[in-house]
Amino acid sequence: MNHWLLKSEPEAYSIDDLAREGETIWDGIRNYQARNYLKSAAVGDRCFFYHSSADPLGIAGLCEVTETMVVDPTQFDPSSDYFDPKSRDAEPRWHTVRVKFVEKFARVLTLHELQAAFTGDELMVVRKGNRLSVMPVNEDAARRILELAAR
């Protein structure tokens, strides 16, 4: 089982939204590197749910991959912000995952705490200038994040 970190602006979709809905298709990824990471995810992988452009900023909870290689439906929806006119039904460009809610942390594990606990090499999200919305979290970092969140 691998761990990932998924960013979302809570104004658009928050951990509370996922808690209420139970599961969701992680749609709207339009960056190839992020997409490629999602393509390599497996059912059962755990994902840290990160609130970006928010207060507080940081990891708000945990979810789990329940389905992989899900065709992102928004790419074919002309009314969606994520509509991609270059994508074709027979050859969709954007695949993603379905995730289910696992837990909301008792408190947000803030970016500041993550920056204090990890170097950029240990955890991508604390790297300066990092903009990726999907990134891998190695097993040592994942274990330490869960320990910090449980404190």
Partner DNA sequence: GCCAACGTTGGC
- Interface residues with DNA (CB under 7 A) are 7, 9, 30-33, 52-54, 57, 111-112, 115, 128-133
Question: Three-state SS string across 50-118, please?
Answer: EECCCCCCEEEEEEEEEEEEEECHHHHCCCCCCCCCCCECCECCCEEEEEEEEEEEEEEEEHHHHHHHC
The secondary element (H helix, E strand) that includes residue 25 is strand 23-25
Smallest gap from Cβ 111 to DNA, in A, equals: 5
For DNA, give the closer residue by CB, 30 or 100. Answer: 30
| Sole residue written with tokens 């969606």 | 80
Smallest gap from Cβ 133 to DNA, in A, equals: 4
For DNA, give the closer residue by CB, 43 or 112. Answer: 112
For DNA, give the closer residue by CB, 22 or 129. Answer: 129
Instruction: Select from 83, 90, 151 the least CA-distant residue to 117.
Output: 151
Residues 6+ apart with CB under 8 A from 98: 23, 24, 25, 26, 65, 66, 67, 70
For DNA, give the closer residue by CB, 2 or 87. Answer: 87
Smallest gap from Cβ 148 to DNA, in A, equals: 17
Smallest gap from Cβ 9 to DNA, in A, equals: 6
For DNA, give the closer residue by CB, 59 or 149. Answer: 59
Smallest gap from Cβ 86 to DNA, in A, equals: 8
| Structural tokens at position 104 | 């909301």
